[in-house]
Each structure stands twice: as C-alpha cells, then as structure tokens.
Amino acid sequence: MKAFFSQHQSKHAPELELQNGELVPHAESQARVDAIRGVLKDVETPTNFGLEPILAVHEAGYVDFLKRVHRDWFAAGRPGDAFPYVFPIRGRRPLNLSRIDAELGQYAYDCGTPVAEGTWDTVYWSAQSALSALEHVMDGARAAFAFCRPPGHHAGADYMGGYSYLNNAAICAERALAQGASKVAVLDVDYHHGNGTQDIFYAREDVLTVSLHADPKTDYPFYWGHADETGEGQGAGFSLNLPMPRGTLWSEYQARLVQAIERVQAFSPDLLIVPYGADTYAGDPISYFSIETAEYTDMARLIARLDLPTLICMEGGYAVDALGANVTAFLDGFET
C-alpha cells in the first residue's frame, strides 16, 4: 500500500503538556515518527494542494491564528511553546481579543495541545499528505495510507485540542465531495472519540461519522462521543457513537466493529475514510483497551470487506516500542 509523508512533518516538537495535573513530556513526539516511518516501504512525498482544501473545512480566522500564534507568543516575550491556560465557559463569545493568551483560549479546549515553532509547517504538510493519499485513492487505488502527525480528529472547524490542529479526515471528506463523491463515511477506530470530525459534519447527511472509542464518561474528550449523539437537522441519524469501557478486549471490540460496518454498508458511501489510532493497544501508556498487535490485522480485514475505496489516516498510538508493528499489522490486513 502506498503511503504519503513529508519530512516537514517532523518540525512539530512541543516539549511539555499538562496531563492529570502535572507537566509531562509531550507524548506526540518524534519517536512516533521514527517508529512508523521505519516500517513504511512505499512512501511518496505529498503534493502541495495549498490552503484551499483546508479552508473548505477550517475557518479562515482559525487558520490565520495557527500560522502566527507561536510568532505572536514569542513577540509577547513568552518562552517556549504557546500554551492556552484560560477558556470561556459554556460557549465562546464572539469577541475581538488581541492578547495572545485570550486567542489561545478562544481557539483551544485543552492544555495538552501547545503550539511549537514548527507546528504550522507540520500540520500543513500533514494535511497535504492526507490529500495526496486521497488523490491516489480517487485515481483508482483500493487504499492508501496518509502518515499524518500530529493527529487530527479532535480538531474542529475553529478549535484545536487532543494533539490535533487540522482535521485531516474532515479535510479529505470535504475534498472528496467537491471532487464528485456523493457520500463519504468516516469510520474512526482510535481509542478516543473523533469529536472534531463529528462536530464538523453533525448537521449534514452527506458524511456519515462512526466512532468506536472509550466511554467519554471516563475518558477524554468527556464532552463528546456519548451514544445519544446521533446528529441534528439534516444530519439526524448520520452520527453513530459506540463507546466501550476500559479494558475492552478484541472479542468485545469486534462485535461493535461489526455493528459499525453494517451501518457503513447501509449508508452506501463512495469513499471510506478510516482514522486509525494504535492507542487501542493493550500496552498504550495513556489509553486502556486491551487489543494485541496481531488483532489489528483482523480489525483491518473486517473493514476491508466493505470493498470500498479507502483512505487510512494515522491518528494516535503512544506505545512507541510497539507502534511500528501495530501500524504494520493494520496495513497488512488491507492487503491480505
């Protein structure tokens, strides 16, 4: 399977994040890049599609913020990475705030997603990798792998969070529709709910969002991903959330995956986008499912039976020593 990745995607290197009340080394590190890049064989440098596909999903003010936030942070006399630390409560008033601290809170929802000097370059080229993989699939390939990093599925149209800044899956879904697809399904198999993707398409009927994830009653992102979130307006019935408890085994996960696949089949999309996170792995340091490496091949085989043109976008996975093997096992499932 052809993969797409740019060396620019190594420029994002935050030092710390706030997790469970303490500053810890940032989990979305270069070590993840090395682990995955080391197992990919057929890798192409992405084409530059520019800002247009990004701006079809993300608000222009937010994109402008991402491009300049670290520069503005530095100009304000702040050292290191740009960190949000104050947030509006229950919604964001449309205020024209110029202080960088206020802007960070306006466009972020957690303290685990700092903006480093190279963040914009990295997330821009991560989106280009996803768009290039999409083009390969729309040109006739059965599947392609977009080695996106950092993850993207937590990013909304105008906010960042969960290590995510631009939503690669959403950008590609919108691009596919603009290129002639009538319906797109997003089947998210990361440990955490794909809240940004759901939010972007929540009131639409042309994109089905399905997410298998840890129960948000106990796990991040908490405020999204509950089973009763099914869409609104024209999108009513086009969001499906399948939350599961900590400790979920493959046998239990598989039953939910079959349910998800049946919903995708009923939707009959022209394209399938799979945000894949290896953080469902039993040894992941920040997640709590119990899926083993070999079971990722079984997971992918089930999804591949949909027999749809498929774009796979890399999301989470933080057990670095096993990450390459877990990605390989998943990709192998699409080729066997």
Which DSSP letter does residue 154 get? T
DSSP 35-89: HHHTT--SEEPPP---SHHHHTTS-HHHHHHHHHHHHHHHHTT--SSB------S
CB atoms within 10 A of CB 77: 6
Say if CB 171 and CB 37 are below 8 A apart: no
Query: Residue type at 280?
Result: T
Q: 208 by DSSP, 3-state: which?
A: strand
Of the listed 8, 58, 70, 154, which one is catalytic?
154
Distance CA 55, CA 63 (A): 8
Which DSSP letter does residue 176 get? H
Distance CA 195, CA 192 (A): 9
Could you tell me which of 234, 326, 320, 240 has the C-alpha nearest to residue 280? 326
Task: Give counts: helices (H), strands (E), the chain.
Answer: 10, 10
Q: Which two tokens stand for residue 327?
A: 């990605």
Q: What is the largest CA-CA distance in the chain?
A: 55
Tell me the angle at which helices 30-37 and 320-333 cross, rounded to the nearest 10 degrees: 40
Q: How far apart are the first and last CA of the chain?
A: 11
Catalytic annotation present for 70: no
Specify the DSSP element, H or E, that contains 224: none
Could you tell me which of 142, 80, 73, 67 has the C-alpha nearest to residue 101? 73
Distance CA 301, CA 170 (A): 24
Q: What residues are labeled active site?
A: 154
